[in-house]
Structure 1
Amino acid sequence: MASLYSVLLRWLEKNRGIIVVLVVLPLSVVFSAYVRLRQAALRWLAAGPQLHDSRVIKIQAQVKRWAQRKPSERKLLCTARPNWQSLSTTFFRKDLCEQISLPLYNILNLDEKNLVLRVEPLVTVGQVTSYLVPRGYTLAVCLEVAEATLGGLAMGVGMTTYSHKVGLYQESVVSYDVVLGDGSLVTATATNDHSDLYYTLPWSHGTLGFLVALELKIIRIKPHLKLEYIPVRGQKQYCDLMRRVSGALDASAPTPDYVEATVFSKHSAVVMVGTFSDVPDHERHKVIPFCNNPFFRYLFGFLLPPKIAFLKFTTTPGVRAMTFTKQVFQDIVLPMNQLEDQINKSEELFDIYPLLVYPCRIYDHGPNRGQLRPPRQDQLVPGARYAMFNDLGVYGVPRPVMLKKPYDAVKHMRLMERFTRDCGGYAFLYADTFMTRQEFEEMFDLTAYERCRTKYCAEGAFPHLYDKTKPEIDVVEVGKRYIDPL
C-alpha cells in the first residue's frame, strides 16, 4: 500500500495541471457559488451585523477558558481556519495549537461621510468589492485576489497598484478590535492608548491577538477606468518612467490613479497607467502548463482563475518541496531608486521573466513603530515623509531548472534575501522565507513587537512571528535533495 501511495503521489506531482483542471477549477466555481449564496442569506436574514457583539463575547469566552487552565495544560493559540484556506505558501502546524473559532464574515457599517468601512476580519476582497463598487466606492488599498480576507491582509500585508498614493494596506486601517491572550477586548488606533499595538499588528500574522473587527479607509471611484499601455525599450528608460509616473521624484507631481509594469526582459517592459473616467473610452491604443492552448481556453477558460485555497488544498509533499526547489513565488518590497539593481539581481539569481513591478509608499513613522524600519534618508521622496518602494513579483521556474541543470534554489533565495536586507527592503512573509532568526531580526525591527507581546498578553499565548511564518519544514535540508535536475 505504501508503494502504491508513493506512485500515486508522484503521478499527482507530475500531472498537477490535470488535477487543477479536473478538481481545483470545479471546486473553485462551486465554492464561489456557495459564498454568493451565503452572503445573500445573511442579507435576507439581516441578522449578521447585529449579532457582532455576541459573536465577539463568545470568542472572548473561549480565550478566557483557555487562560484559566494551568500553564502546563495550555497550547499556543491560533485560529481554527484551515491551513488550506490561507493564502500563505506555508502550512503552520495548527494541530499543535489551541484552535479558536472566529465566525466573523460580515460587513458591519459604511460611513459615507467619513469614508470609512467597518468589517469583520473574514470578509473577503471579493465580497467587499461587490458591496462597495455599486455604491461608488472601493477600498483605498484593494487587492486583486478575491478570496483574500480583509483581516488576513491587516495582520499580514497588502499592496496594490494604488499604493503609490496610499501606501501599504496598513496605512488604510483606521482601527483594530483585538481579543488579547487574557480574553480582554481592546480597540487600537494611531492616537489612543493602544497606539503601540496599532503599529505592531501589521506584519504580526496573528501573533499578538485575535482580530475581531477593523475599520478601513475607502475612496470614491468613477464608473470607468482608462488604461494606457506604454511599451518601453531600455532598462534606464522604463525604470525612469516608473519613478516619474509614481511620484518617486517629486511628492507634488500629479500621478495616475493606478501604476504597474510588466518587465519582459532586462531591456524591455510595458508600463501600465490607469485613471478613473466618467465615460468609457472607445479608443484602441504556471500552474496549468497548457492553459494557453485554444482548446483549453474554449472549454475551460470560463472557470479561471483557480482559487488559491484549492491549489493549496491539493498540494502534496512533493509539490510543496518543488515550490521552493524548482519554482520561485516571491513578492519583495524594495526601494524604487534601486529598481535597476533589483531586476539585474533577479536575472542573476533566477533568470525568470516576466517580472511584476508596482510602486508603494513606505512611510517614516519614526523608530520602533512597528516591524518595518523607517526608510533611509537617501530613499525619501523630496518634500515627503515617505519613500517610494515597489513590489518586485518573481513567479515561475528558474531558467536553469527549465534547462535541466543543477540549481540550488535555497542558496539563491538566501542571496536574494541578503540583497533585500542590504537595500533596506522586506520579504513578504506569506511566501517562503529562508532566513535564520538573526537574519530575520536584521530585516525586521522587532523592538516594539517584543514589547507588545509582553504588554498585551501575547507571550506564552501566541507563537512568535518568526516561528509562525518560517516554513514548516527544513527548507535547507529538503533543498539539498532537490539540487539535481529531475
Structure 2
Amino acid sequence: MLPKAIKSRLIKWLEDHRELVVLLFCLPASFIFTMLMKIRANMGRSSRKSNSHESAVREIQKKVQAWNKLPTNRRRLLCTSRPNWLSLSTTFFQKHLHHQVPIPLYEILELNEKAMTVRVEPMVTIGDITEYLIPRGYSLAVTIELVDATLGGLAFGTGMSTHSHKAGLYHETITSYEVVLGDGSLVTATKDNEYADLYKALAWSHGSLGFLVALTLKIVKIKPYIKIRYIPVQGQKEYCDMLRDLSGANEKEPEEFPDYIEGTIFSKDEAVIMVGEYSDNNPYIPINECSKWYKPWFYKHVETILSEGEITELIPLRDYLLRHNRAIFWVVEDMLSFGNNPIFRFLFGWLLPPKPAFLKFTTTPGIRAYTFTKQVFQDIVLPIKELEKQIEVATELFDKYPLLVYPCKIIDHGPMSGQLKRPDAKYLVPGTNYAMYNDLGVYGVPGKVKKNKPYNPVIAMRKMEEFTRNVGGYSFLYADIFMTRKEFESMFDLSLYEVVRKKYNAEGAFPHLYDKVKPEIDVFAIGEENAISG
C-alpha cells in the first residue's frame, strides 16, 4: 500500500493533469482493452456449446436460489457483479454493499428473419450487433451511437436514435424479456402473455426487478448507405418548426417522413438539420466514410454546413449509425482539446474514443466531484412542441452548445403501463395514440464554467428537472439526478412498478429504482461546496 501522503499527491496530480492521463493512459488502455475483448469474444464463440446459454442461466438461478437460503440478516440486496467502471452510467452504484451475482452472457443467440427479430444475451454491445446484422442486410430498429452500450443495459435503461420518430424509444422495439426473478425462477415476459405487467415495468427499471438473461429485439431491412441531406437553418422558430414538420409532430403522414432525423443546434439562432434515407450507391453523390479515424469529428463536419451551405452525401450505414462514437458526440473535445486537430487525427485518431470504462476507471473521488461540479451530461425527453422553451431554459442554465435534438415518438399505452407517464393529451399527434417528443442532449463543460462565471450545478439541474416535470418530460437515468424521492415519483409513474415489485419477489431482493439511480455522492453538499463564485 502507498503511504497516505504519496497517495494524496498522486491523486492530486491525476486530477490536475486529466488531459495527460486521457492521452497517455486512457487511449492506449482503451485500445488494448478493445483488442483483448475481441480476442476473448472470438475464442468464446468458437468454444461455446449449443446448450451453453441455458447452462449459464441455470447457474445464475442457482446463485439466486442460494441467496434465498441465507439467513435473513445476511441477505444483502442483489445486483450484478459487473464493475461500475464498465457501465456507461455517470454514477458509481455502491455494489460493495450488495450481494453480487455474475451475469456472463455475451452472445447473439438467434436471428429470426421471418419474425424480423434478433434474440441476444444482455451483454452484447452495439458494436457487436452492428457488426453482426449489417452484413446480413439488417439493423436494430433503434441503434444507439456508442459501440460500448450493451443491449441489456439499454433494455433496463433506455435509449433513442434518429429513427425514433418512427420506432419510438428503444424499449418499444423489445418483444420479450427473459428474466431471473428474486426467487430464482426464470420467466419470459411479453406484452401478451401472463407476465404482461412485468413486461411493461421492466423498461426504465435499471435492474431493480430482476436479472435480465436474454431479450428479443425488432430489426429492420436496410440498404448499404444513408443518403443524408444537411440543411443549415437560421432562426430559432425556423429550425424548430422544421424539426416538428419533418418528424410528424403536427399530422400523421408517416410514409412521407424521412427514415432518420437529427438536429444539431450550434447557437440559439443557428442549427443544422439532417434528414436521411436508406440508399444504394449513387455515383453522382459523394461518399463520406465519416467514422474513419482520420476524418473530422462528425459534429465538426456538420458545423461547416453553416458557412458552406446545404449538401447531400452518402454515408455507409455502420459509419452513420456510429457517427458520434469517436468524439462521444462532442464530449472528447473537453478531454482532449487538440483531438480534432488534423495531425492528431491522422497519427492517433485510431485510438479514439477513450473508452468510458477507462475514463471511469481513472475517476478518483476528486475527479468525480470535479465532473459533477464543472461538467454536464444529460439526456432529457421533452415534448417537441416546447422545443423553443427547452433551448431557452438550457441556454440560461448551462450556456452549452452544441445541443442535440432527436425527435422521438412517445406512445400512450394507457394507465398502469410503466414508469413513463402518459403524454399529455395536448401533445398527442391528431388521430394517433402518440405524441412527438425529443431528446435534448446537453454534454460537456458549461459556458459559465469556461467563462469563470458563477455556476451552481445543483441549482441549474434542479431548475432543469423542474421544467422537465412541468411539461411532462423525463430525465434519462444513466446521468446524475438531483431530485428528492418525492420529486422523482412526480416525474415518473411508479404505480405499476410498485405492484410488480411485490408480485414478482423484487421487494427485499433488489434495490428500489430510486435508490438504484440516485448518485452515490451527496450532490447537494458537493454542489454547494464547489459552486463557482466567479
Report the Cα distance in structure 2 between the residues aligned to 1:255 and 1:281, rounded to whole angstroms.
25
2:28 is equivalent to residue 10 of structure 1: no
Aligned to 2:300: none
**Deviations, residues 139-191 of structure 1 (Å, cap 9, x unaligned):** 11111111111100001111111111100011000000100000011110001
Report the Cα distance in structure 2 between the residues aligned to 1:125 and 1:159, rounded to whole angstroms.
13
Report the Cα distance in structure 2 between the residues aligned to 1:157 and 1:173, rounded to whole angstroms.
11
Give, in angstroms, the shift of residue 322 of structure 1: 1.8
Give, in angstroms, the shift of residue 485 of structure 1: 5.4
Give, in angstroms, the shift of residue 281 of structure 1: 5.5
What is the count of residue pairs matched by the alignment? 485
Identical amino acids, percent of aligned pairs: 59
Native 8 Å contact 1:264 1:353 kept in 2: yes
Native 8 Å contact 1:180 1:209 kept in 2: yes
Secondary structure of the corresponding residue to residue 231 of structure 1: strand
Give, in angstroms, the shift of residue 98 of structure 1: 0.5
Give unpaired runs (5+ residues) of structure 2.
287-310, 312-333
Native 8 Å contact 1:364 1:386 kept in 2: yes
Q: After the TM superposition, which residues 122-161 of structure 1 pair with which residues of structure 2 at under 5 Å, given as runs?
A: 122-161=123-162
**Deviations, residues 284-307 of structure 1 (Å, cap 9, x unaligned):** 522212213344223211111111
Report the Cα distance in structure 2 between the residues aligned to 1:310 and 1:220, rounded to whole angstroms.
35
Aligned to 2:242: 241
Aligned to 2:488: 440
Report the Cα distance in structure 2 between the residues aligned to 1:44 and 1:182, rounded to whole angstroms.
33
Report the Cα distance in structure 1 between the residues aligned to 2:28 and 2:284, rounded to whole angstroms.
35
| CA 22–444 in structure 1, closer or farther in 2 if over 3 Å, else same | same
Native 8 Å contact 2:231 2:273 kept in 1: yes
Secondary structure of the corresponding residue to residue 211 of structure 1: strand
2:364 is equivalent to residue 316 of structure 1: yes
2:461 is equivalent to residue 413 of structure 1: yes
Give, in angstroms, the shift of residue 43 of structure 1: 3.4
Report the Cα distance in structure 2 between the residues aligned to 1:243 and 1:208, rounded to whole angstroms.
36
**Deviations, residues 169-224 of structure 1 (Å, cap 9, x unaligned):** 11000000100000011110001111010010000000000001110000000011
Aligned to 2:81: 80
TM-score for both structures, normalised by structure 1: 0.98
Q: After the TM superposition, which residues 351-366 of structure 1 pair with which residues of structure 2 at under 5 Å, given as runs?
A: 351-366=399-414
Q: After the TM superposition, which residues 61-100 of structure 1 pair with which residues of structure 2 at under 5 Å, given as runs?
A: 61-100=62-101
Q: In the alignment, residue 437 of structure 1 is paired with which amino acid?
A: R
Aligned to 1:60: 61
Give, in angstroms, the shift of residue 46 of structure 1: 4.8
Aligned to 2:304: none
**Deviations, residues 342-365 of structure 1 (Å, cap 9, x unaligned):** 000000111111101011111000
Secondary structure of the corresponding residue to residue 203 of structure 1: coil
Native 8 Å contact 1:328 1:395 kept in 2: yes
Native 8 Å contact 2:232 2:273 kept in 1: yes
Aligned to 1:162: 163
Secondary structure of the corresponding residue to residue 105 of structure 1: coil
Q: In the alignment, residue 168 of structure 1 is paired with which amino acid?
A: L
Report the Cα distance in structure 2 between the residues aligned to 1:321 and 1:255, rounded to whole angstroms.
44
**Deviations, residues 418-443 of structure 1 (Å, cap 9, x unaligned):** 00000100000000000000000000
Aligned to 1:182: 183
Report the Cα distance in structure 1 between the residues aligned to 2:55 and 2:346, rounded to whole angstroms.
48
TM-score for both structures, normalised by structure 2: 0.89
Correspondence for 2:261 among 259, 262, 276: 259
Aligned to 1:26: 28
Give unpaired runs (5+ residues) of structure 1.
none
Give, in angstroms, the shift of residue 36 of structure 1: 2.1
2:396 is equivalent to residue 348 of structure 1: yes
| CA 281–43 in structure 1, closer or farther in 2 if over 3 Å, else same | farther
Aligned to 1:113: 114
Secondary structure of the corresponding residue to residue 248 of structure 1: coil
Native 8 Å contact 1:401 1:485 kept in 2: no
CA RMSD of superposed structures (Å): 1.3
Report the Cα distance in structure 1 between the residues aligned to 2:448 and 2:149, rounded to whole angstroms.
33
Give, in angstroms, the shift of residue 41 of structure 1: 2.1
Give, in angstroms, the shift of residue 400 of structure 1: 1.8
| CA 43–2 in structure 1, closer or farther in 2 if over 3 Å, else same | closer
Give, in angstroms, the shift of residue 2 of structure 1: 2.9
Correspondence for 1:37 among 32, 36, 39: 39
Secondary structure of the corresponding residue to residue 274 of structure 1: strand
Report the Cα distance in structure 2 between the residues aligned to 1:231 and 1:342, rounded to whole angstroms.
20
Aligned to 1:328: 376
Report the Cα distance in structure 1 between the residues aligned to 2:271 and 2:117, rounded to whole angstroms.
37
Aligned to 1:271: 273
2:452 is equivalent to residue 450 of structure 1: no
Report the Cα distance in structure 2 between the residues aligned to 1:281 and 1:411, rounded to whole angstroms.
53
Report the Cα distance in structure 1 between the residues aligned to 2:283 and 2:175, rounded to whole angstroms.
35
Q: After the TM superposition, which residues 207-218 of structure 1 pair with which residues of structure 2 at under 5 Å, given as runs?
A: 207-218=208-219
Native 8 Å contact 2:178 2:186 kept in 1: yes
Native 8 Å contact 1:226 1:281 kept in 2: no
Native 8 Å contact 1:79 1:102 kept in 2: yes
| CA 485–300 in structure 1, closer or farther in 2 if over 3 Å, else same | farther
